Amino acid sequence: MKKLVSRMSIIMASVVLMVSFTACGSNKDSGGGTKSSSGKFASIEELKQKGKIRIGVFADKPPFGYVDSSGKNQGFDVYIARRFAKDLLGDESKVEFVLVDAASRVAYLESNKVDIIMANFTVTDERKQKVDFANPYMKVSFGIVSPDKAPITSIDQLKADGKKLIVAKGTTAETYFTKNNPDIKLLKFDQYTEVFAALKDGRGAAIANDNTEVIAWAKSNPGFTVTIPEFGGQDTIAPAVAKGNTALKDWINTELETLGKEKFIHQAYKETLNKVYGEGFTDSLVIEGGKAQ
Amino acid sequence: MQSLGVEVLFEGSNFERLLGGLGVTITIAFSSIIFSTLSGGIMGLLRTSAPAIIRLLLRVYLEMFRIIPILVWLWVVHFGLTPALQIEVSGEFTSIVVFSLWGAAEVGDLVRGALESLPRHQVETGKALGFSYMQLYRYILIPQAVRRVLPGMINLATRMIKTTSLVVLIGVIEVVKIGQQIIEIGVIKAPNASFWVYGFIFILYFIICYPLSRLAKKYELKWHSL
């Protein structure tokens, strides 16, 4: 009898475990990876009620989004994001910064874990299918940085010598080369820290990324120069919201227009980017009022 | 003279931030280790004694965690499963859940292995002496199995501690990510900062993992002499 009871209890325990596991399993299927669950995002009213807006920014990409030595978020994107929070919720401290990686930005919006992404997010057709972009506040093209000892002055040079080009995963530079120059060997990394380390220790011949990124990095790293400052056409950088969140997108567009009247983006540039790029680049990088000239 | 880079560790609140990040690492790793030891123990018992169908399901569960990388589990659970269930959880929570599930599968296999490695006559002797099923496990099998499980468990625990560096993907800011943030803002003033920051992180991981392996060594020696 005792034996029977103990056997029964083991069976019972296993049934409980099994049910919980299969429950997990079936949910996973219905989740279908990173499908969006639309209609779930907060309306502007709800954001105001909660008194909190979640904005996704970079944590390791100065001068656009980084964390300073006292643990505070700083940078160009962050500066503008704080102003958004101030104008929407009345206080810039009501923004909650979510620190995102380049490759997970779309997933954060699709899974409704942030309200806005302002992490140097370049507008592309592929991304437009998954998220909604507001009007841009900045424009960029690609640039290539290489060591002074072995400068890369043309794209053909990379092809000819079979050299490796370093890119960060999930960036537009990666997409550009995969699509337009598939014969160039790419060396890909998740983190920007790893990208720069790979150029320094010679694992790759050059880094391709947004020109802003490489200009800034080359300026602070002697021995490296931006040898191709501009190629691949012009792109814009804009805040992004979840697909279908038109209310928030419209609010951002109106906000950008209002800010344009006081030249706020120029001020953001002056406060955060001047020391990195110098004043000469202001008008070639900034878009005021949400409309490119 | 060019700066050595070591001072970035003590600039502003960097030192406290790194320790805070270590706190996150420790919280995730040790909560998961505790949960997986408990549930893994039960799972190990089930895998040696439960009906065949349950053993098979548990086997499938183990293989799922062995075959699919933890990185993928974290991503699917955080960006796929929790939004689909309409629940909002923090990255830390997701990490503890995924690491516990993974740990439970691995611990379960270790326990199963240990139980199965015990000589057949141990069970038969116990039965001959009139031990019940429960008593058999309680007094004969489990005490012996624990000794055989320990080295593997410590190995798994240190592996779990180090694997926590993956959780940055779902937005959890642990010690390695804070290190990278510090390196990135320091590139202008101190290009060698990465060496010091990673060196410091190495020491932090060592401080957590080394006592574990000492502990394992101690008990192994102690039990071996019994």
Most confident of A141-145, A155-159, A258-262: A258-262
Domain assignment present for residue A36? The answer is: no
**What sign for the dihedral angle of Cα A206, A211, A215, A221?**
negative
- CB contacts, 8 Å: A27 with chain B: 81, 84-85
- Which residue of B lies nearest to A24 if distances are taken between CA atoms? B81
B50 interface with A at CB cutoff 8 Å: yes
The number of folded domains in chain A is 2
B135 interface with A at CB cutoff 8 Å: no
Task: Please list the residues that pair with A116 across neighbouring strands.
Answer: A55, A241
> At A254, which CATH number?
3.40.190.10
Residues A125 and A251 in one domain: yes
- CB contacts, 8 Å: A190 with chain B: 169
Q: What pLDDT does A19 receive?
A: 46
Helix, strand, coil distribution of chain A in percent, nearest 5:
45, 25, 30
- Which residue of A lies nearest to B76 if distances are taken between CA atoms? A33
Domain assignment present for residue A29? The answer is: no
Residues A221 and A279 in one domain: no
Domain assignment present for residue A32? The answer is: no
Residues A62 and A191 in one domain: no
Residues A69 and A210 in one domain: no
Q: What pLDDT does A281 receive?
A: 61
B80 interface with A at CB cutoff 8 Å: yes
Contact A113 B168 (CB under 8 A): no
Range of the domain at A176: 141-234
Mind telling me how many Å the CA of A287 is from chain B's nearest CA?
A: 26
Mean pLDDT of all residues in A45-62? 90
Asked if pLDDT for residue A132 goes beyond 80, the answer is: yes
pLDDT digits (tens, 9 = 90+) for B128-172: 999 988 898 889 888 888 888 988 999 999 999 999 999 988 889
Domain assignment present for residue A273? The answer is: yes
Q: Which domains does chain B have, with CATH numbers?
A: 6-224 (1.10.3720.10)
Does the pTM surpass 0.80? The reply is: no
Asked if pLDDT for residue A38 goes beyond 60, the answer is: no
Residues A162 and A190 in one domain: yes
Domain assignment present for residue A252? The answer is: yes
Mean pLDDT of all residues in A1-24? 49
Q: Which two tokens stand for residue A232?
A: 């691949």
Domain assignment present for residue A37? The answer is: no
Domain assignment present for residue A280? The answer is: yes
pLDDT digits (tens, 9 = 90+) for A68-120: 888 899 999 999 999 999 999 999 899 999 999 888 899 999 988 999 999 99
Q: Buried b vs exposed e over B162-190: b needs ≥16 C-beta within 10 Å?
A: ebbbbbbbbbbbbbbbbbbbbbbbbbeeb
Q: What pLDDT does B187 receive?
A: 65
- A-interface mutation test, from B183, B184, B195, most A Cβ less than 10 A away: B184
Residue (of B149, B176, B193, B215) closest to B29 by Cα position: B176
Residues A226 and A279 in one domain: no
The backbone region for A170, taken as left when phi is positive above 0, alpha when psi lies in -120 to 50, beta otherwise, is: left
pLDDT digits (tens, 9 = 90+) for B44-72: 999 988 899 999 999 999 999 999 999 99
Asked if pLDDT for residue A197 goes beyond 70, the answer is: yes
Domain assignment present for residue A34? The answer is: no
Asked if pLDDT for residue A29 goes beyond 90, the answer is: no
- DSSP output for A133-148: E---SEEEEEEEEEET
Mind telling me how many Å the CA of B114 is from chain A's nearest CA?
A: 19
Residues A220 and A255 in one domain: no
**What sign for the dihedral angle of Cα B15, B19, B22, B28?**
negative
Under the banding of pLDDT at 50, 70 and 90, the label for residue A248 is very high
Q: Which two tokens stand for residue A175?
A: 């997409």
The dihedral over CA atoms of A108, A111, A112, A113, expressed in degrees to the nearest 10, equals -50
Identify which of A14, A21, A98 has the shortest CB distance to residue B50. A14
Average pLDDT of chain A is 83
Mean pLDDT of all residues in A145-149? 92
Contact A98 B45 (CB under 8 A): no
